[in-house]
Amino acid sequence: MLSTDSPSSSFPSCGRAEALRDYAFDELPADERLAMEQHLAACGDCVLELDRLRLTTAALHTLPDREIPQRFAFVSDRVFEPSPLRRFWNSGTLLGQNLLGFASACVLAAALVVSAWHLSAVSRPAEGRTVVQSASAAAASPEQINAAVAKAVAQVRVQIAEGDAQMIRAAIQTSERKRDAEYRDQMVAIGENFMVLQKRLNMTYARLSSDEVAGSGAGQ
Amino acid sequence: MKLLLAITAATLCFAATESRVSRATILAVEKSINEKFAAYSAEPYSQLGYARGTYLEGYGTLFTIELDLINTGPLNLSPFKPTISAEEKATTHERKVKKLVELKESMRVLMMNASGTLEGLPPNERISMETILFNYSWEETRGLPHRVFMSAERQKLLDAKAARAGQPELTAIIEEQER
Q: B179 to each of B33, B95, B144, how far by Cα in Å?
A: 21, 20, 9
Rounded to an integer, what distance in angstroms lies between the CA atom of residue A27 and that of residue A1?
7
Residue B11 in domain = no
* pLDDT tens digit sequence for A161-189: 999 999 999 999 999 999 898 888 888 88
- A-B CB pairs within 8 A amount to 35
In contact, A96 and A89? CB cutoff 8 Å = yes
Does residue A131 have a pLDDT over 50? no
Q: Which residue did the predictor score with more confidence, B146 or A114?
A: B146
pLDDT at A92: 55
ipTM over 0.85? The verdict is no
Amino acid at B23: R
Report the mean per-residue pLDDT for chain A: 75
Domains identified in chain A, total number: 1
The pLDDT confidence band at residue A16, using thresholds 50, 70 and 90, is confident
When mean pLDDT is compared across A130-144, A191-205, B60-74, the lowest value belongs to A130-144
pLDDT of residue A78: 61
In a domain, A31, yes or no: yes
Q: Computed over its alpha carbons, how large is the radius of gyration of chain B?
A: 21
CB-CB contact of B135 with B146 (8 Å): yes
Within-domain flag for A151: no
Total tally of structural domains belonging to chain B? 1
Residues of the domain holding B157: 21-178
- Strand-pair category, B60-68 with B46-47: antiparallel
Query: Which residues lie below 8 Å from residue A80, measured CB to CB, with a gap of 6+?
Result: A73
What is the per-residue pLDDT for A68?
61
The beta-carbon neighbor of A193 closest among B47, B48, B76 is B76
Nearest of B121, B11, B139 to residue B73 by alpha carbon: B139
- β-pairing, B60-68 vs B126-133, is parallel
pLDDT for res A67? 62
Give the gap in angstroms from C-alpha A179 to the nearest C-alpha of chain B.
Answer: 11
Q: Is residue A135 predicted with pLDDT exceeding 90?
A: no
Check residue A9 and give its pLDDT: 47
| Assigned domain for A191 exists | no
Q: What's the pLDDT at A1? A: 41
Tell me the C-alpha to C-alpha distance, in Å, between residue A49 and each of A10, A34, A43, A55, A88. Answer: 11, 18, 10, 10, 57
Model confidence over B3-31: pLDDT tens digits?
A: 555 555 555 444 445 568 999 999 999 99
SS3 B64: strand
CB contacts of B66 in chain A (<8 Å) are: 199
Of A1-5, A146-150, B173-177, the poorest mean pLDDT is in A1-5
What's the mean pLDDT in A199-215?
Answer: 85
Q: Which of A186, A190, A199 sits opposite B48 (nearest CB)?
A: A199
Whether residue B5 lies inside any domain: the answer is no
* Crossing angle between the packed helical segments A30-42 and A17-24, to the nearest 10 degrees: 110
A111 versus A141: the higher-pLDDT residue is A141
Q: What percent of chain B has pLDDT over 70?
A: 89
Question: Can you give the residue range of the structural domain that contains A11?
Answer: 7-62
At residue B93, does pLDDT exceed 80?
yes
Nearest CA in chain A to B81: A186
User: Mean pLDDT over residues A92-113, rounded?
Assistant: 68
Which region among A211-220, B16-25, B118-127 has the lowest average model confidence (pLDDT)?
A211-220
**Does any domain span residue B111?**
yes
**B159 in a domain, yes or no?**
yes
| Percent of chain A residues past pLDDT 70, beyond the cut | 65
- Of A54-58, B15-19, B117-121, which gets the smallest average pLDDT? B15-19
Chain B residues 8-37 with a CB less than 8 Å from chain A: none
Q: Which residues pair with B63 in a beta bridge?
A: B53, B129
Q: How confident is the model at residue A88 (pLDDT cuts 50, 70, 90)?
A: low
What is the predicted pLDDT for the residue at B34?
95
Interface test with B, best of A183, A196, A200 (most B CBs within 10 A): A196
**CA separation, residue B38 to residues A74, A117, B147 (Å):** 89, 97, 19
Residue type, B124: N
Averaged over B129-145, what is the pLDDT?
93
CB B61 within 8 A of CB B118: yes
User: What residues in A contact B79, CB-CB < 8 Å?
Assistant: 186
Residue in chain B nearest A179 by alpha carbon: B82
Which range among A109-113, A178-182, B165-169 has the greatest average pLDDT?
B165-169
